[in-house]
Each structure stands twice: as C-alpha cells, then as structure tokens.
A and B are shown apart, each in its own frame.
Chain A
C-alpha cells in the first residue's frame, strides 16, 4: 500500500475528478490525504474525506466581479487568485508532505503550490488537468501574455519551488492526468507525450435534492439548463432568457433549470426551476443540455450522449465550447447577448436529430467512457511510486 496526497484549489470543478480517483486508490488499499480548503473539499468529496487544511488567501473564497470576462478575467484569475492562492497554500502543502510522507502527489494544474513544493522536496507528482483548455496552447499567438504568465510563475518558483527548475509547473515532468478526451481536442498536438488523456471521471453525487421526479413528462423531451457551480452571480439575465426559450418550446420540451442563485423568482409556467438538481440522474433521462461550457458538465453531457447549446462565460469555457462545436456535438451562442428566441432556435437545431449533433455527442461519449477514467488515473499514480527496497517493505 502507498500514500497519495491530492493538492487542490478551492474550486468544485477541479476537485470533482479527483474524488473518483481518490475513491479508486482507497479501493486498491492505498491511503489518501487531501490538501486544500477543508470545507470545499468535504463539500465535494464527502464529510469523511481526510484533509490537511490549507489557508486561503485574504478573506477566503475568490470574489470575482461577475461581469469580468475575456483577458480581464484571465488577469484577475492569475494575479488576484491563483498566485496569492499558491503563496497561501505552499506552507500547508509542505507541512502535509513532511507529516504524511506521500509516495506520490497529484496536484491540480491551478494549485501551483503543489507542483513547486514537490519539485523542491523531490517528491514525484502528477499534474491534474480538470479541463481540456490548457492543453491546446490557449496563449499561442499572444507571446507577451504568455511571457506575463511565465513571469508570475517564475516569481512563485523563486519563493516556493526549486529556482533551478525550468519547466512549466502547470505540466509535471512526471506526467499529467488530463480528464478529457482526444475527440474534444481535435487535431491539436499535446504539450508533451507525458500528457495522459484518461477521460472524465463521472461520479454520481448522491445528495437528496428532493427533486420532484413525478412531475417529469415522458411525452416531452427533457432539457437541462445548468451554468455549473462557479457562475451563480453572472447568470441572471441568461437564465431568464433560457426559461423563456423553454416556455416557447413547451409543446415538445420540458425544461429543468438549475438556479442556485435564486434568480428565477417567477418562472414561466411548466418550466421546473430548482436551486440544486441531481445532475447525473437528470442527464440520464435528458435529451439535450443548455450550459456554459464548463468542462465537467460538458463531459458529463457527452458521457450521456447529449448534444448541447453552449453559452461560454469566461476562462476555459470559450475554448471548451469551441471544441464541442468543432466536434459536431453542439451549437454555441453568446452568453451576454443571446435572447429567448435565439436560444429556442439553437435548442431546436440540436434536438433535430437530422443535424447530427446527437450522433456526434454519442460517439464522443462512447470514447470518453473507454478512456479509462479513474482506473487509468490510479494506474498512472501507482506507477509513479518508486519501488521500495525489500528491507523496508514492512515499514
């Protein structure tokens, strides 16, 4: 048996894939410990998860102005969140490594402290990439922006890593677990041959949401609207238009809207609005999804063979949305401008099976299921553990 440390940022979508990997490692008899924001880890991984708590920078969770998008959102993400996060987390990661003595570490691509502490202490580690966007050179063509980011990563490395190291700490020299599939990446070359496309880890998140299953109408096509977990403040206008679009198509579509922000106080009749939904179970019965292009919801939808209308907001979402559109499994609309009529038109397009979106989504889903997921990730982590001399095998 071996010990594995999982270093994560306080972001639900980044923790999610590793929950399944940690469960698989535990099933194989290994010991796992998380390092990150204890509340956030336990909210995703369950209350029993073992966590070495890491402080968050400043006042806690990142508060990003909801209207911030594009390159301004990118600057905020690194300058005001990920860099301070790495500075705040580094002491906790080091404490966790010294106390837990992991045989190997897996650290999220955006929890840079994990990579830098491991390189300094000489612990083998894999990168966890919870989105496909960083794999396709998002800053290609923007050399000065790439240099800006490299400068910040270099400063972090001088403070917490091995200043002599020269590789990109977002891609471990030991390898990267990329929880995505080739079908989404298209022909894009991978940043290195140590990037392993293990597919998504789709884990049911059992939680009693009190969902009124008996109100679902089997004679209409079920459509789920979800903007994920990180965009609650930005979604009011869009969710209103989406609910109106669902009402426009009410003769053939039954809409379910996830509205954690409580924006839809008076939804159109027949549109089911819930603060939280049992997403995986709903996807199993749905015919299509309207979403923001978050990588996890995209993979879960494709996993169930569902075509998508995508309204990316920021960060990796425009890239992920483009990948889905180029793979033929979805239609993209503008988050900030699309109205109910435009959404209804896009939804009609993907629900029309003659358009091929469902066929493409089903094909991608089959290959994502075949990619190995948590089992492939656990295999790669086990392979990372250095062989022990026989004398110390009993420990």
Chain B
C-alpha cells in the first residue's frame, strides 16, 4: 500500500488522478505480474490483464484503504450482468471511483 494514500482527500475526485491511482494499484497487485504491463482506460480487466474475481476482491480492499468507505467496489461489481463483467475495463472502475468520490464530496 502506498503511504501517501492516507492523505488523500475528496479533492482527488479528478478522473485522471483516480485512473492513475488504480493503474498503480494494479501494477502492485501481488504476484499478478503486471509491473510492466500497459494499462489504460480501455484495458480489459479479465481478457487483457488476466485478472480474476479474487483480484477484484483484493482491489476492492485496496481502494477502500485509499479512499475509505466512500468507494465500494464490491457493490459496483454485484450490480453487473455477466456480459458487463466480461467487458469490464479499467476505465469503468476508475469512473465508478470518481463518481463515488464526487457523490460523497457533494454530500459533505
């Protein structure tokens, strides 16, 4: 986990910042072998990164450590149809995080 994470504030709800953060988290996934992988908005979570549901669980936990309870990836995944899960991109994950942060920032 990155140490700067704890200082993150809702002002980080900028989409590109979130995307960059998620890419970093993916590269650091234990044993995933993604250190040097090309990862962008359109990268497919399953087909291209060869990640699995267990990795979504890990990712979900890491994002919660970074952003707190404002981001609930498990709920987002639970709402997806099978075809949507197959086509899931890194950009969609980033968009979900960005939207969650903006929603809670607006509430605050």
Residues of A with Cβ closer than 8 Å to B?
69-72, 74-75, 138, 141-145, 148, 312, 318, 322, 332-338, 342
Q: Which residue of A lies closest to B35 (CB)?
A: A337
Query: Which residues, 43 to 75 on B, are CB-close (under 8 Å) to A?
Result: 46-47, 50-54, 74
A sample of 17 more A-B contacts (CB under 8 A), given A70-B52, A145-B80, is A70-B46, A70-B50, A70-B51, A71-B46, A75-B82, A141-B74, A142-B53, A142-B77, A144-B79, A144-B81, A145-B81, A145-B82, A148-B81, A318-B54, A333-B31, A336-B50, A337-B33
- Residues on A with C-beta less than 8 A from B106 are none
- Residues on B with C-beta less than 8 A from A71 are 46, 82, 85-86
A70 to B54 CA separation, bound complex (whole angstroms) = 11
A333 to B33 CA separation, bound complex (whole angstroms) = 9
- Residues on B with C-beta less than 8 A from A342 are 33
B78 engages A141 (CB within 8 Å)? yes
- Residues on B with C-beta less than 8 A from A142 are 53, 77-78, 80, 85
A322 engages B54 (CB within 8 Å)? yes
A70 engages B81 (CB within 8 Å)? no
How many interface residues does B have (CB within 8 Å)? Answer: 21
- Residues on A with C-beta less than 8 A from B46 are 69-72
Residues of B with Cβ closer than 8 Å to A?
31-34, 46-47, 50-54, 74, 77-83, 85-86
Interface of B (DSSP majority class): loop
A256 to B85 CA separation, bound complex (whole angstroms) = 38
A145 to B82 CA separation, bound complex (whole angstroms) = 5
Cβ-neighbour of A69 out of B32, B34, B50, B83 (below 8 A): B50
Q: Which 8 A-B pairs have the closest CB atoms?
A: A337-B33, A70-B46, A336-B50, A71-B85, A145-B82, A71-B86, A318-B52, A72-B86
- Given A145-B85, A148-B81: A72 and B47 interface contact (C-beta under 8 Å): yes
A143 engages B78 (CB within 8 Å)? yes
A144 to B85 CA separation, bound complex (whole angstroms) = 10
A334 engages B81 (CB within 8 Å)? no
Minimum CB–CB distance for B30 against chain A, Å: 10
A338 to B19 CA separation, bound complex (whole angstroms) = 26
- Residues on B with C-beta less than 8 A from A148 are 81-82
Minimum CB–CB distance for A342 against chain B, Å: 7
Q: Which residue of A lies closest to B32 (CB)?
A: A334
- Residues on B with C-beta less than 8 A from A143 are 78
Cβ-neighbour of A337 out of B50, B54, B78, B85 (below 8 A): B50
- Residues on A with C-beta less than 8 A from B78 are 141-144
- Residues on A with C-beta less than 8 A from B52 are 70, 312, 318
A70 to B49 CA separation, bound complex (whole angstroms) = 11
B33 engages A338 (CB within 8 Å)? yes
Minimum CB–CB distance for A335 against chain B, Å: 8
Minimum CB–CB distance for A34 against chain B, Å: 33
Q: Which residue of B lies closest to A79 (CB)?
A: B82
